[in-house]
């Protein structure tokens, strides 16, 4: 029996991870966590009977502890509770379904225990990629991507016989982007788009934050930075193509111009399952791709003049140091403000750029430097908009 810790079990990735595990005979959750959704976490805890659960909000943790008082399940709280879950000796894999930089510290804790990381928290590599990858190598921890795009690249590269020096043979990693709900729109037409319009993603059902990031193309920018660290590629070898159908999840172009792509229906359960079972594959049903009905596959160049967040991400990655943490922190705060109807859609990129322009970069940051840069970026955004 394999035991798996699911950080962020009440989010989209976490819920689907538990659904995948229900189809597996030899896997069960050892620990589950949420930020504050204790009703769903209680339901999951009673259904799957993990040893421990964690609620980051301490007041909600007290409520859940009372609700689960008739069980033997240990209820943890706060960021330190996430770390305790991540370090559990019982589990061999940690699925990081937490959104944002909050996933960084528990991921590093799990890495130091030599666990497999099924990585769905892209901010971990965006903000601290050099540190995370170095620690993974030092502690023998496998990082298997769960994002559909990075899983696709990982699967394309896994087919190679010589895995040691693939970087020399790879000409480019090509990440595909759906283009979000506003593909083809001009800046002028986006001046007054609503939260509901931005949340109406054409292909994927995701949480609010990542859906807005998809609409601004920041999500693809973060994925570019993640891919550069994950696959040890320079930024100029990580390309983006808009592929509206989300059938090709990403591609790898090799030095001889052969291109290998991974195709499938828009379904996160496949990359989740593959990250858990790798290097083996397991039967999955109800996600078959029908080439006769999926329609034509199209490709377009991303419009970085209208959707400036993608260009800002490339810029932040090129500068390096603490700048990607500032990009990410400012974006998280700006998206939160947009979801509260406090700024307009196009202002998301404006406030991120302003934060980047005002930041004094630390070139070789520690984890503390990265967390400080994240905090600075959030405070900058709020202060600049007179929200505090």
User: In 160-279, where do the E strands start and end?
Assistant: 170-177, 238-242, 248-254, 259-263
- The HSE-up count of residue 138 (CA atoms within 13 Å, CB side) is 12
What confidence tens digit (pLDDT) does each residue in 264-278 have? 998 899 999 999 999
Spatial distance between the Cα atoms of 139 and 179, rounded to a whole number of angstroms: 38
Predicted pLDDT of residue 387:
53
- Read off the pLDDT of residues 106-121 as tens digits, 9 standing for 90 and up: 999 999 999 999 999 9
With CA atoms as reference, report the closest residue to 143 among 210, 86, 89, 95: 95
Q: In whole angstroms, what is the distance from residue 135 CA to residue 350 CA?
A: 34
pLDDT digits (tens, 9 = 90+) for 72-128: 999 999 999 999 999 999 999 999 999 889 999 999 999 999 999 999 999 999 999
pLDDT value of residue 13:
94
**Mean pLDDT in residue range 198-223:** 90
pLDDT band at 10 (very low <50, low <70, confident <90, very high): very high
What torsion do the CA atoms of 372, 378, 382, 385 make, to the nearest 10 degrees? 110
Q: Span 2-145: which CATH code?
A: 3.40.50.720
Beta-bridge partners for 144: 118
Distance from C-alpha of 157 to C-alpha of 127, rounded to nearest angstrom: 24
Enumerate the CATH 1.10.1740.10 domain ranges in the chain, comma separated. Answer: 316-384
CATH topology of domain 316-384: Rna Polymerase Sigma Factor; Chain: A (1.10.1740)
For 325-349, what is the mean pLDDT?
Answer: 96
Closest CA to 273 of 24, 11, 104, 38: 24
Structure confidence at residue 207 as a pLDDT band (50, 70, 90): confident
Cα R_g (the chain), whole angstroms: 20
**pLDDT confidence tier of residue 162, bands split at 50, 70 and 90:** low
pLDDT score of 388: 43
Alpha carbon separation from 51 to 19, 30, 73, 359 (Å, rounded): 18, 6, 5, 43
Mean pLDDT of 195-204: 87
Q: For residue 166, what pLDDT is reported?
A: 72
Q: Where in the chain is the domain with CATH 3.40.50.720?
A: 2-145
* Average pLDDT of span 288-302: 95
Say if residue 217's pLDDT is above 90. yes
Residue 203 binned pLDDT confidence (cut-offs 50, 70, 90): confident
pTM of the complete model beyond 0.85: yes
């Amino acid at each position: 029996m394999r035991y798996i810790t699911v950080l962020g079990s009440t989010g989209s990735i976490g819920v689907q991870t538990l659904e995948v595990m229900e189809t597996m005979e030899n896997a069960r959750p050892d620990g589950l966590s949420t930020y504050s959704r204790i009703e769903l976490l209680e339901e999951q805890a009673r259904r799957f009977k993990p040893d421990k659960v964690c609620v980051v909000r301490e007041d909600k943790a007290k409520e859940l502890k009372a609700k689960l008082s008739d069980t033997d399940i240990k209820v943890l709280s706060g960021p330190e509770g996430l770390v305790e879950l991540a370090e559990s000796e019982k589990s061999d894999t940690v699925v990081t379904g937490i959104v944002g930089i909050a996933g960084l510290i528990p991921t590093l804790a799990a890495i130091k225990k030599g666990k497999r990381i099924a990585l769905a928290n892209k901010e971990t590599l965006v903000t601290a990629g050099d540190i995370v990858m170095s620690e993974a190598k030092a502690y023998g921890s496998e990082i298997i991507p769960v994002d559909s795009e990075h899983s696709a690249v990982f699967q394309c590269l896994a087919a190679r016989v010589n895995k040691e020096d693939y970087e020399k043979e790879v000409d480019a990693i090509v990440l595909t982007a759906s283009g979000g709900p506003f593909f083809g729109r001009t800046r002028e037409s986006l001046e007054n788009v609503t939260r509901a319009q931005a949340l109406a993603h054409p292909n994927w059902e995701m949480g609010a934050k990542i859906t807005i990031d998809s609409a601004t193309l920041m999500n693809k920018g973060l994925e570019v930075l993640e891919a550069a660290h994950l696959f040890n590629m320079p930024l100029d070898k990580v390309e983006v193509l808009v592929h509206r159908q989300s059938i090709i999840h990403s591609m790898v172009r090799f030095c001889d111009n052969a291109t290998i792509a991974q195709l499938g229906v828009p379904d996160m359960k496949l990359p989740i399952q593959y990250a858990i079972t790798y290097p083996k594959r397991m039967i999955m049903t109800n996600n078959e791709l029908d080439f006769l009905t999926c329609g034509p596959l199209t490709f377009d160049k991303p419009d970085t003049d209208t959707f400036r967040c993608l260009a800002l991400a490339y810029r932040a990655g090129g500068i390096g140091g603490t700048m990607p943490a500032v990009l990410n922190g400012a974006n998280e705060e700006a998206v939160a403000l947009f979801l509260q109807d406090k700024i307009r859609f196009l202002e998301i990129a404006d406030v991120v750029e302003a934060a980047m322009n005002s930041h004094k970069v630390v070139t070789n940051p520690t984890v503390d430097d990265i967390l400080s840069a994240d905090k600075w970026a959030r405070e900058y955004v709020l202060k600049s908009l007179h929200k505090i």
